[in-house]
Amino acid sequence: MNVYDFTVKAQDGSDVSLSQYRGKTLLIVNTATGCGFTPQYGDLQDLYNEHQKDGLEILDFPCNQFGEQAPGSDEEIHSFCTGRYGITFPQFAKIDVFGENQIPLYKWLEENSKFEGFSGFMGKIVSVAAKKNDKDYKNNSKVKWNFTKFLIDKNGNLVARFEPTTKMSEVKKQVEAIL
């Protein structure tokens, strides 16, 4: 099984097969518009501007499960992201990344990656929040917070996971290594 086996929902509710991204390098990210990490939208757009021509696609999945930091409708979230950060990469319908309504894509991402911990000053803050959601957060692969990123190679295989506290320079370095 790989990423191309999944179908997700577009903002308009229509089905989108991820097989349409076959042969592309993907960075899949769960996002929120009211999070301390929201400025990463700007970094993601910069990365997309630089490497879309090289086959990079960033797939944005808004999620309201962490601190209720993406409360708007799909249209409101998209308007915010395009207006404030000028995003042009694909943004999908709001999803659940955990719980009974977790989408199958995120179940697969979790099952095929490991949580390696948070880093830096923000890591200490996020650790407190993550522990409120999951007392055993350090010992499982569940997504812990907004702006967790998953790097998928051109063959549809998951090759790296980045927590929201990972510096975007490290994300960029690993993206460039597989492009």
Q: Concatenated DSSP letters for 20-69? A: GGTTSEEEEEEE-TTSTTTTHHHHHHHHHHHHGGGTEEEEEEEB-TTTT-
Q: Is the pLDDT of residue 19 over 90?
A: yes
Whether residue 133 is predicted with pLDDT greater than 90 in this model: the reply is no
Structure tokens of 39? 């400025």
Distance between CA atoms of 73 and 133, rounded to whole angstroms? Answer: 23
Q: Is pTM, for the whole model, over 0.85? A: yes
Q: Residues 83-126: pLDDT tens digits?
A: 999 999 999 999 999 999 999 999 999 999 999 999 999 999 99
Instruction: Give, in order, the Cα–Cα distances in Å from 118 to each of 107, 124, 142.
Output: 21, 7, 13
pLDDT class for 176, splitting at 50, 70, 90? very high
Mean residue pLDDT across the chain: 96
pLDDT at residue 136 is higher than 90: yes
Residue 48 has pLDDT above 90, yes or no: yes
**Percent of the chain beyond pLDDT 70?**
100
pLDDT tens digits along 59-69? 999 999 998 99
Looking at the chain, how many residues does it have?
A: 179
- Domains along the sequence of the chain with CATH: 3-178 (3.40.30.10)
Question: What CA–CA distance (Å, rounded) separates 33 from 61?
Answer: 11
Cite the active site residues: 35
What's the gap between Cα 143 and its chain centre? 10
